[in-house]
Amino acid sequence: MHILPNGEFDLIDIISEMFADISINNVEGIGDDCAIINSDGDVIAISTDMLVEDVHFIKNATSAHDLGAKALLVNLSDIAAMGLKPQFSLLSISIPKVCRGEWIVEFMRGYHSVSKQFGVMLIGGDTTGSKDKITINVVAIGRGNSANVKKRGDAKIGDRIFVSGVLGQSAAGLKDILNNEYNTPNAMIHKKPTPTTKQGVWLGKRAYVNAMMDISDGVASDLKHILKKSNVAAKIEITNIPNVTTIEDAVCGGEDYKLLFTVDPKHSEEIKTKFKEMFNSDLYEIGEIIESENSEITWMQNNIEINPNWSGFRHF
């Protein structure tokens, strides 16, 4: 095999194919926000994310405390995206000598603040040195009832497509940070995203919510995972996408960590009302699941089809 993987998803395809010969009953592996281990109606959901200095964060542009908080928050988002409650985490971190004093203690305080806020117990990890860069790997583990698990592959034709909040703030914040403006409202959101843990658990309990995932690479990229897994296509009305800056930030920007999900159309008004009552914030209906085998997104602007060249954000 002489494949030259040039993006994360190509590599994941290679890995999925290579490891397809090792499977265990009642366990779902690669392909969703979390792996799922089933056991008598209960499930354990496990997710992991690696954060690399100068790829995912710039050390001097964020405080150690904020970085520690974010490292856990983004993983809690993956558990929420399956409709489950996070309960445990493991943290591995490699740090250069310069970080071994107050920096790592502040990092751990930030990690602890989020752990405490969400009642997530730190059950293990690894600490080691590095030559000059910081690498962080967090594992989040959720438990819950198997009936509440939401997967990418369960979107149905006719489903309405929703996002759980305004998009593009994190991408706009990253631009501010790269312009040395570290404390704008969007920069703060980029550094410390608001988790959707409670919303995810609430949505997990609604039987009329079909597919769900979190938005980490932008709707343009992430929605395609739902479409491919569900063997359907989508039509999106971009004027309905809630954004604070540009449509490109909202559609292609990374690290929003809002929820993207599909809802049985009979319940699309009901869920908006109930969500508003529960969380005092809006759900946004941005489009519809349609029939098609090509898993493509048709982008509409005021009901007229447009053909933008949008792809998602890539860390790889």
- Listed in sequence order, the residues at least 6 apart from 304 whose beta carbon sits closer than 8 Å to its beta carbon are none
For residue 35, state whether it binds a second copy (rule: CB under 8 A).
Answer: yes
Judged by CB under 8 A, the residue of 108, 250, 251, 289 near a second copy is 108
DSSP letters, 80-123, are HTTT-EEEEEEEEEEE-GGGTTHHHHHHHHHHHHHHHHHT-EEE
Judged by CB under 8 A, the residue of 26, 58, 98, 100 near a second copy is 100
Judged by CB under 8 A, the residue of 50, 147, 178, 306 near a second copy is 50
DSSP letters, 257-294, are --EEEEE-GGGHHHHHHHHHHHHSS--EEEEEEE--SS
Minimum CB separation of residue 248 from a second copy in Å reads 22
Binding piece for a second copy, criterion CB under 8 A, among 17-25, 150-158, 167-175, 278-286? 17-25
Judged by CB under 8 A, the residue of 129, 145, 231, 306 near a second copy is 129
Minimum CB separation of residue 233 from a second copy in Å reads 27
For residue 1, state whether it binds a second copy (rule: CB under 8 A).
Answer: yes
Judged by CB under 8 A, the residue of 26, 58, 98, 123 near a second copy is 123
For residue 24, state whether it binds a second copy (rule: CB under 8 A).
Answer: yes
- Listed in sequence order, the residues at least 6 apart from 101 whose beta carbon sits closer than 8 Å to its beta carbon are none
Phi, psi of 11 (to 5 degrees): -65, -40
Judged by CB under 8 A, the residue of 126, 269, 270, 296 near a second copy is 126
For residue 174, state whether it binds a second copy (rule: CB under 8 A).
Answer: no
